[in-house]
Amino acid sequence: MPTTSPTFAKPDVAVVSAARARVGESPLWSASEQVLWWVDIDGCALHRFDPATGLDAVWPTAERLGCVALHAQGGLLAAMETGLFHLRPHMGGRVGGLLVSTLLAPADHPRPGMRFNDGRCDRAGRFWATTMVRDMSLSAASGGLVRFDARGLSAPLVQGLVTGNGLAFSPAGDVLYLSDSHPSVLQVWRYALHADGSLGPRRAFIDMRSHPGRPDGAAVDADGCYWTCGNDAGVLLRFTPEGALDRVLKLPVSKPSMCAFGGAQLDELYITSITPNAPAAGFDPALDGAVLMLRPGVRGLNEAAFTPDPPPQETQP
């Protein structure tokens, strides 16, 4: 693996929401709305932050909401405890208005006490999500990676995950990144992603035992570099497409959970965070669970929306 001398920085960080999440996750920039969607998993809530007004609207959900993606027909695709849902949030002030929910596919977890965790759409509009046992102390490798597209919800395409995380896709859409952030694993892998949605063999990408933090949620920038939140270490790490660490950004929270590019120029990096069981030394406990924003000096990529219809069939002349 190539070696580099990474740069270290403590960037200017803005707190963009007054909300403090129990488990903040799944920041998702909507270019059409110019807003940031995000979730509080254990707080059972969907949030919509509008940078233009500073309003962070919130909708309570009936169960834990692991992650969201844009939906091509409007609203969001949401991976919850019991399945995948089409959510249609209606604005109603600071406390969100009506939240219409339609079940698209029930979950088929292999054991009780599981939920969806990390997820996002690939460049072709297919939705990918990981599953996990909620009680991480069990170290149960019962989770997997599933795909949802016009063919429905797949069986696990990757199995044996404890805390599947770090889903992201290369700019060309031909590489899928996946991590396991459980302390017993701490690995990031890459898979070739084929046009039909199938995966190639698993390849080692990053051994996070050599870097600070656990590899939580991730994003890929326009240069194809992989950003991951170093959970428990309070850092953002950027790796080149070859897997070499080239940037380390220090954050004011100990448990950053996921990052996403946003803003009109996609030059803002939004970071959700988790409130730890006890304050961590060297960090500001008043910011635990906050949504943060910084400008890393690079741009991201627009998130693809889930496209439920199959692609048109090519016809021969």
**Hey, which CATH number is domain 7-294, 3.40.50.150, 2.120.10.30, 3.40.190.10, 3.20.20.70?**
2.120.10.30
Point out the catalytic residue in the list 216, 221, 232, 288. 216
**What does the pLDDT read at residue 236?**
98
**What does the pLDDT read at residue 81?**
94
Give yes or no for a contact between 36 and 49, defined as CB atoms under 8 angstroms apart: yes
**What does the pLDDT read at residue 1?**
42
Give yes or no for a contact between 185 and 206, defined as CB atoms under 8 angstroms apart: no
Active site residue 216: yes
pTM of the entire predicted model: 0.94
**Tokens 């599933």 belong to residue:** 146
**DSSP letter for each residue of the chain:** ------EEE----EE--S---SBEEEEEEETTTTEEEEEETTTTEEEEEETTTTEEEEEE-SS-EEEEEEBTTSSEEEEESSEEEEEEE---SSB---EEEEEEEE---SSSSEEEEEEEE-TTS-EEEEEEES-GGG----EEEEEEETTEEPPPSEEEESBEEEEEE-TTS-EEEEEE-STTT-EEEEEEB-TTS-B---EEEEEGGGSSSEEEEEEE-TT-PEEEEEETTTEEEEE-TTS-EEEEEE-SSS-EEEEEEESTTS-EEEEEEB--SSPPTTS-GGGTT--EEE--SS---PPPPB--SPPPPP---
**What does the pLDDT read at residue 2?**
46
Q: What contacts 71, CB < 8 A, 6 or more positions away? A: 77, 86, 305, 306, 308
**What does the pLDDT read at residue 18?**
87
Question: Which residues of the chain register pLDDT less than 50?
Answer: 1-2, 314-317
**What does the pLDDT read at residue 92?**
76
Question: How far apart are alpha carbons 119 and 134 in whole angstroms?
Answer: 16
**What does the pLDDT read at residue 312?**
52
